[in-house]
Amino acid sequence: MNVYVADALFLAASLAYLAATFLFSRILLGTSRAPAWLGSRLIALGASLQGVHVIVWSLVLHACPVKGIHFPMSVFAVILCVAYLSMRTRYRIDVVGAFVAPLALTSLLASRFVGGGTQMVDQAPRLKSALLPVHVAANLVGIALFSLAFGAATLYLVQEHLLKAKRIEGLFQRLPPLDALDRAEHRFLLAGFPLLTIGILIGTLWARQVEMGGAADILRAAFGYLTWLLIAGVLLLRAAAGWRGRRAAYGTIAGFGFAMLVLILYLLREANPGAHGHVAGMP
């Protein structure tokens, strides 16, 4: 019975994210005069439904939501939406929902369909550690904040391009103020960076404990460190040399790109679990 309820919640959350994606696309294209907060409400609805879905599945599977990668992908979407919803009014970045909604939808769908089945994730005993949930949780929240920074940075670049091109009608009017985007991007990076640092430190420690050393693990770790270095560089250059605006936005986008690569590598590992002692599974 609970499985059906969870499926219904999954479907409803997906539809809410889809509707938000559709609405934000139309707002940005200028084909809808609907206010951006309406899209934010749809994201809130989707996140609420997905939150309940995560709880129901946790109960059904008796699983920790931050173990493995599939289930955390779903949790990531919820964290992303919550972070967005709690910051959107403060920074006047409703339109960043145009990134949040499709990303949340993708994460939700990936959590179910990429490399998955309907079985429970079962980690190899040698990989079990109390550090793992902390590593995953820190990284999830960190990447969620970087995702918001990415959205703000992308919109900043669009807005900045329009302003430099002196095209101050249409899309320019629908996007948030330039400085608000720059400020939001910086704050999201600042908030996400310590979490990423914790995630990487714990990840390194854990990898040593379980003696990981395959090529995929090294590649994943390398991208993780590169992400950290990029974000650290962006923050440092901004503080020390006044790198803001366009340069900071490019750095943020690159950092987010590497973070996403790490996430994708995790997902791919789950799709090919044999080599890593995992059993593919999906809530």
The Cα–Cα gap between 105 and 122 comes to: 25
Task: Give min distance, CB of 85 to other proteins, in A.
Answer: 20
- Nearest CB to other proteins, comparing residues 26 and 92: 92
Strand (E) or helix (H) holding 253: helix 246-271
Task: Give min distance, CB of 154 to other proteins, in A.
Answer: 17
3-class secondary structure, 243: coil
Task: Give min distance, CB of 25 to other proteins, in A.
Answer: 22
- Nearest CB to other proteins, comparing residues 163 and 229: 163
Binders of other proteins among 135-164, rule CB under 8 A?
A: 163-164
129: left (phi over 0), alpha (psi -120 to 50) or beta: beta
Separation in Å, CA 215 to CA 41, 129, 218, 283: 43, 22, 5, 28
Helices (H), 92-177: 97-113, 131-164, 171-174
- Nearest CB to other proteins, comparing residues 167 and 208: 167
Binders of other proteins among 160-189, rule CB under 8 A?
A: 163-164, 166, 168-169, 172-173, 176-180, 182
The Cα–Cα gap between 100 and 97 comes to: 5
Task: Give min distance, CB of 270 to other proteins, in A.
Answer: 42
- Nearest CB to other proteins, comparing residues 162 and 195: 162
In this structure, the dihedral spanned by the alpha carbons of residues 243, 247, 248 and 249, taken in order and rounded to 10 degrees, is 160
Total of chain residues touching other proteins, rule CB under 8 A: 21
- Nearest CB to other proteins, comparing residues 224 and 251: 251
- Nearest CB to other proteins, comparing residues 53 and 238: 238
The Cα–Cα gap between 150 and 249 comes to: 8
Helices then strands, each counted (H, E), the chain: 9, 2
- Nearest CB to other proteins, comparing residues 215 and 240: 240
Task: Give min distance, CB of 164 to other proteins, in A.
Answer: 7
- Nearest CB to other proteins, comparing residues 122 and 160: 160
Tokens of 233: 């560089």
Binding string, residues 81-100; x marks residues near other proteins by CB under 8 A: -----------x--------
Contacts of 7 (CB under 8 A, 6+ apart): none
3-class secondary structure, 278: strand
Binders of other proteins among 242-281, rule CB under 8 A?
A: 242-247
Binders of other proteins among 210-249, rule CB under 8 A?
A: 241-247
Closest CA to 140 of 225, 217, 81: 81
Q: Does 62 bind other proteins (CB under 8 A)?
A: no
Q: Which residues bind other proteins (CB under 8 A)?
A: 92, 163-164, 166, 168-169, 172-173, 176-180, 182, 241-247
